[in-house]
């Protein structure tokens, strides 16, 4: 992987995509790339959908880690993304903390503990908890919101019973699609 790419993992209903995205500037946070009005494409001629992100060296796994396949390039529709995390261990967390200090001085807001329940898709939903920095109301207008120190549990219905599956997140940062949030709760951290 060269410096103009970043490894990410994308979760959609019942599928997990892993690969690298093209980035125009290495200092951009992954959440800003996902929230951009114009998602960066190194070669715009490869773009088939206006709401897609290009994954290079992509792999797809189904629920239960059943590998579906590998592709040199794969377009993932952003409207289907439930949440994602990147390969920048601790970077998202430390950058969010710096931004939170600035926002706290400017807006007098402090960080919050957040609990999010996603919509049920297929036979599962996700319970996500972590720390949110800044004003949720302003960020809820974005496609994705950043959560640090994230913990994710997938709740799966199997034969009339619910099972829990813990999702491991690199670096503790996750970007969550606001379109798939069914319910949320905030409390002062």
140 shares a domain with 69 = no
48 shares a domain with 118 = no
CA separation for the pair 34, 188 (Å, rounded): 27
pTM of the complete model:
0.84
Judged against a pLDDT cut of 80, whether residue 101 lies above it is answered with no
56 shares a domain with 32 = yes
47 shares a domain with 64 = yes
110 shares a domain with 180 = yes
Judged against a pLDDT cut of 80, whether residue 89 lies above it is answered with no
Inter-CA distances, 48 with 18, 45, 107, Å: 20, 8, 41
Query: Domain holding 98: CATH number?
Result: 2.30.30.100
Residue 51: give the domain boundaries. Answer: 5-84
96 shares a domain with 76 = no
51 shares a domain with 127 = no
68 shares a domain with 117 = no
Segment 76-90 mean pLDDT: 84
Domain boundary among 51, 84, 117: 84
Segment 73-97 mean pLDDT: 78
State how many domains the chain has: 2
Domain boundary among 33, 66, 84: 84
Please state, rounded to an integer, the average pLDDT across all residues of the chain: 84
CA separation for the pair 28, 99 (Å, rounded): 13
167-179 per-position pLDDT tens digit? 988 778 899 999 9
Residue with tokens 């494409």: 41
165 shares a domain with 98 = yes
């Amino acid at each position: 992987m060269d410096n103009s790419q970043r490894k990410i993992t994308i979760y959609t209903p019942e599928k997990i995509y892993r690969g690298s995205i093209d980035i125009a500037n290495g200092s951009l946070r992954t959440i800003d790339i996902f929230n951009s009005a114009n998602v960066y494409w190194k070669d715009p001629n490869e773009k088939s959908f206006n709401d897609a992100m290009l994954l290079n060296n992509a792999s797809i796994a189904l629920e239960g880690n059943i590998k579906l396949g590998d592709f040199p390039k794969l377009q993932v529709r952003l409207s289907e993304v439930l949440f994602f995390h990147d390969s920048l261990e601790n970077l998202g967390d430390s950058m969010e903390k710096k931004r939170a200090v600035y926002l706290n001085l400017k807006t007098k807001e402090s960080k919050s503990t957040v609990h999010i329940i996603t919509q049920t898709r297929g036979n599962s939903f996700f319970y996500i908890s972590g720390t949110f920095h800044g004003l949720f109301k302003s960020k809820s207008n974005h496609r994705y919101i950043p959560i640090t120190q994230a913990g994710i549990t997938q709740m799966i219905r199997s034969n009339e019973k619910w099972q829990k599956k813990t999702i491991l997140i690199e670096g503790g940062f996750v970007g969550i699609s606001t379109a798939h949030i069914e319910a949320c709760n905030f409390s002062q951290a």
